């Protein structure tokens, strides 16, 4: 797949402890993005953050909970991302969890799979 020019960055914010069944929600989202043949997805783990609850989530030695912020970034053409948003809404509904989803217009300057792909 080769894409260039105008595209969309879908950014999804969830908690590390959010689950869908026995899998982390962020992992389910990435797998569904791959199944939807989207160009790519990356999960980033935050070291400090807060959301709608205003509860600070951090990684400290004395903090026994493991609920750090997780950000999933997915890039593709606007039409494919628009279709994927319905899947994303369904995943949040099934997980019974909240989160934040943002869209950003971007310009892809280089995206080509390597020769080993």
- As a whole number, mean pLDDT of residues 84-99 equals 94
Mean of the per-residue pLDDT values for the chain?
Answer: 88
69's CB contacts (< 8 A; 6+ apart) are 13, 14, 15, 16, 45, 46, 48, 49, 51, 57
The H or E element that residue 25 is part of is: helix 25-35
Q: What domains appear along the chain, each with residue ranges and CATH number? A: 5-108 (3.30.70.120)
What confidence tier does 96 reach under pLDDT thresholds 50, 70, 90?
very high
**pLDDT (tens digit per residue) in 13-36:** 999 999 999 999 999 999 999 999
92's CB contacts (< 8 A; 6+ apart) are 98, 99
Task: Give the Å distances, CA to CA, from 27 to 2, 20, 64, 105, 110.
Answer: 25, 9, 22, 24, 26
**pLDDT (tens digit per residue) in 58-67:** 766 555 556 7
Q: What is the pTM of this model?
A: 0.87
């Amino acid at each position: 797949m080769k894409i260039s020019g105008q595209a969309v960055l879908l950014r999804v914010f969830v908690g590390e402890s959010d689950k869908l069944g026995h899998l982390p929600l962020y992992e389910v989202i990435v797998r569904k993005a791959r199944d939807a043949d989207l160009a790519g997805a990356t999960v980033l783990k935050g070291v400090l953050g807060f959301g709608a609850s205003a509860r600070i989530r951090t990684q400290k030695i004395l903090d026994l909970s493991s609920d750090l912020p997780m950000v999933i970034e997915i890039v593709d053409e606007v039409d494919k991302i628009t279709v994927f948003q319905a899947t994303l809404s369904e995943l949040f509904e099934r997980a019974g969890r909240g989160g934040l989803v943002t869209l950003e217009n971007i310009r892809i300057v280089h995206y080509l799979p390597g020769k080993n792909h």
